Structure 1
Amino acid sequence: MRQVAIIPYPQVKITLLAWNGKYLLKLEQGPLEQTYKVAELDMNGVVPPDVEIRQILDDEFLTAAVARFQAMQQDLRAAFARHELR
């Protein structure tokens, strides 16, 4: 697995990785992460992959991803509470 780029964004850490014919777009916020796989064949190959991936990371996508992190955190807290864990 090769790290292609770290893409700055204030609310999440975004890492672009290349692995096995795919680009992995990894978003991290604290202990949670979301990973999206994009096949190399789905990219046009005209510009570097990090430039193309930045087009995917538009405001709508990132706003939804941040909201998803909030939902994930709520789900985890609820599961802990149901089982009386910390």
Structure 2
Amino acid sequence: MRVVADIPNPDMKVTLLNWNGKYLIKLEKGDFEQTYKISEMDVMGDAGAKELLDEDFLEATLNRFNDMRDAFVSTVRRNNG
């Protein structure tokens, strides 16, 4: 697995990787992680993969992290009384 880039972001860790014919966009915030896989055939090299990391996409993933946290907190409360 090759690290293509660590993308600076104040809200989460964003890493672009290349592995087995795919680009992986790995986002981490606290205890939560999201990974998106894109075929190398669907983008124009490393630069094309980086272009996918636009403001709208990153904002949507940040909102998803909030939803993930809320869902996890809810299940812990339901199941740990």
TM-score, L = length of structure 1: 0.87
Structure 1: tracts of 5 or more residues without a match: none
CA distance in 2, matches of 1:6, 1:44: 18
Q: Which runs of 5 or more residues in structure 2 are unaligned?
A: none
On the 8 A contact 2:5/2:17 being kept in 1, the answer is: yes
Partner Cα separation in structure 1 for residue 25 and residue 44 of structure 2: 17
Q: Could you tell me which residue of structure 1 aligns to residue 4 of structure 2?
A: 4
Amino acid corresponding to residue 17 of structure 1 in structure 2: L
- When the two chains are superposed, the root-mean-square deviation of aligned CA atoms in Å is 1.2
Equivalent residue of 1:17, what SS? Answer: strand
Amino acid across the alignment from 2:32: L
Q: Is the 8 A contact 2:16 2:50 kept in 1?
A: no
User: Structure 1 residue runs of 4+, over 6 Å off?
Assistant: none
Q: How far, CA to CA, are the matches of 1:16 and 1:67 in structure 2?
A: 20
Equivalent residues in 2 for 1:5-84, closer than 5 Å: 5-45=5-45, 49=46, 51-84=47-80
